[in-house]
């Protein structure tokens, strides 16, 4: 059991009684890519997919570009046409070589330093949050299991944090399992649920069991591939509805009910209509309420919206802390709400973790 560091330090804008201090289970660590850092799936935050053909991938990793990004997924699959694969492969090799040369003088990590307090000038909301790390989490999405085995042989591939495995289901799982035996033991894996097989509940129950045997504890999170799931239904995501108002949203509720009780975290799929901020915010609210961790983004304007949606209000944080208090009663009233540690404990643990990563909003209910 590891003790969490308080989010708000003594002398900051909140008094000591608001410090986050509790015991909770140890989370996954990636010893090589993430020295001395305990990782939690909430750290995925806003996840940007970037085609491996892009020339500015290093600028994003080094935070010269999009400095607030939480995680980046370098894609060799759907975002790269077949004819561009050789160039994308060469780009990956150049990226790793450059990264390795930089590491000698200025190692990049995802370790987050002490908390800070800031006021958003546009909203006037005070927010306390951990400082950004020197780089985002970095994953590569291979095209197929064979490409994953080739990636595992590249020099300096240990610099990345892990891999996103596309189109994982019971038909492809054995091939992915064999391929993953070639990657480093501390590589984090994110299988993606995005094939038509996922609309079969019996299949999903079998997959939830089989994943544990295939990858052990290395499954960092399960990604939900919204657009591929729409494609399986011969649909495209509508521009006037959140994903939860569609058949894919119905499936997402079923996936949560199948995989979360087995210990897995799920991520929220992309909303490609980046010019519809109201729709995006509405969908984010449901993502958070359902316990999803992070969300795929395709536009820089979506990053801050994701991070704000996952931050925690002071009232909600106080309720989580009250539930986790050692002297908490079996059932008690707090903020005109009934709290019951026996049933609310898991929620409180996740709320505290979310507050540590995304911060606390001083005057807003989330």
Query: What residue ranges do the domains of the chain occupy?
Result: 1-27+312-366, 31-310
Query: Tell me, what's the pLDDT at 346?
Result: 95
Closest CA to 176 of 187, 185, 167, 184: 167
Determine the pLDDT at residue 25: 33
* CATH superfamily assigned to domain 31-310: Phosphoenolpyruvate-binding domains (3.20.20.60)
pLDDT at 234: 98
CA separation for the pair 173, 207 (Å, rounded): 9
* Closest to 128 (Cα-Cα) out of 14, 17, 37: 14
pLDDT of residue 331: 86
Q: In this structure, are strands 71-75 and 337-339 parallel, antiparallel, or unpaired?
A: unpaired
One DSSP character per residue, 271-289 reads ---TT-HHHHHHHHHHHHH
Rounded Cα–Cα distance for residues 140 and 256 (Å): 25
The alpha carbon dihedral of 189, 190, 196, 198 has a sign of positive
pLDDT for residue 2: 34
pLDDT of residue 345: 94
Q: What is the pLDDT of residue 17?
A: 34
In the sheet where 223-224 sits, what is the strand order?
223-224, 188-193, 162-165, 137-141, 71-75, 46-51, 295-297
- Phi, psi at residue 119, to the nearest 5°? -115, 125
Which residues in the chain show pLDDT less than 50?
1-37, 114-117, 119-126, 366
Q: What is the pLDDT of residue 218?
A: 86
pLDDT at 29: 32
At 87 the pLDDT is: 97
The radius of gyration computed from the CA coordinates of the chain, to the nearest angstrom, equals 20
Q: Burial level of 82, CB count in 10 A (0-12/13-18/19+)?
A: exposed
Residue 347 — φ and ψ, nearest 5°?
-60, -40
What's the confidence (pLDDT) of residue 303?
97
């Amino acid at each position: 059991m590891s003790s969490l560091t308080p989010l708000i330090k003594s002398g900051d804008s909140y008094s000591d009684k608001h410090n986050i201090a509790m015991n909770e289970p140890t989370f996954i660590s990636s010893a090589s890519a993430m020295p001395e850092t305990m990782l939690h799936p909430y750290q995925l935050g806003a996840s940007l997919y970037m085609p491996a053909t892009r020339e500015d991938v290093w600028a994003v990793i080094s935070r010269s570009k999009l400095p607030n990004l939480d995680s980046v997924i370098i894609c060799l699959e759907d975002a790269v046409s077949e004819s561009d694969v050789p160039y994308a492969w060469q780009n990956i090799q150049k990226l790793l070589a450059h990264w390795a040369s930089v590491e000698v003088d200025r190692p990049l990590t995802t370790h987050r330093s002490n908390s800070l307090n800031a006021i958003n000038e546009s909203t006037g909301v005070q927010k306390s949050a951990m400082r950004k790390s020197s780089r985002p989490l970095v994953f590569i999405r291979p095209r197929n299991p064979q490409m994953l085995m080739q990636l595992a042989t590249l020099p300096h591939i240990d610099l990345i944090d892990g891999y996103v495995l596309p189109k994982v289901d019971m038909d492809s799982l054995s091939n992915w399992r064999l391929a993953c035996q070639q990657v480093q033991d501390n590589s984090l894996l994110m299988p993606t649920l995005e094939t038509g097989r996922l609309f079969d509940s019996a299949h999903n129950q079998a997959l939830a069991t089989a994943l544990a045997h295939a990858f052990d504890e290395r499954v960092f999170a399960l990604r939900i591939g919204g657009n591929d799931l729409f494609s399986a239904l011969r649909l495209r995501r509508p521009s006037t509805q959140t994903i939860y108002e569609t058949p894919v949203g119905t499936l997402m509720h079923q996936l949560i009910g199948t995989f979360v009780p087995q210990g897995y975290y799920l991520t929220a799929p992309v909303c490609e209509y980046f010019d519809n901020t109201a729709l995006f915010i509405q969908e984010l609210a449901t993502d958070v309420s359902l316990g999803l961790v992070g969300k795929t983004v395709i536009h820089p304007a979506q990053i801050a919206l994701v991070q704000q949606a996952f931050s925690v209000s002071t009232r909600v944080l106080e309720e989580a802390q009250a539930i986790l208090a050692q002297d908490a009663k079996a059932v008690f009233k707090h903020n005109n709400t009934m709290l019951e540690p026996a049933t609310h404990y898991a929620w409180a643990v996740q709320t505290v973790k979310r507050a540590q990563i995304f911060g606390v909003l001083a005057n807003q209910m989330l």
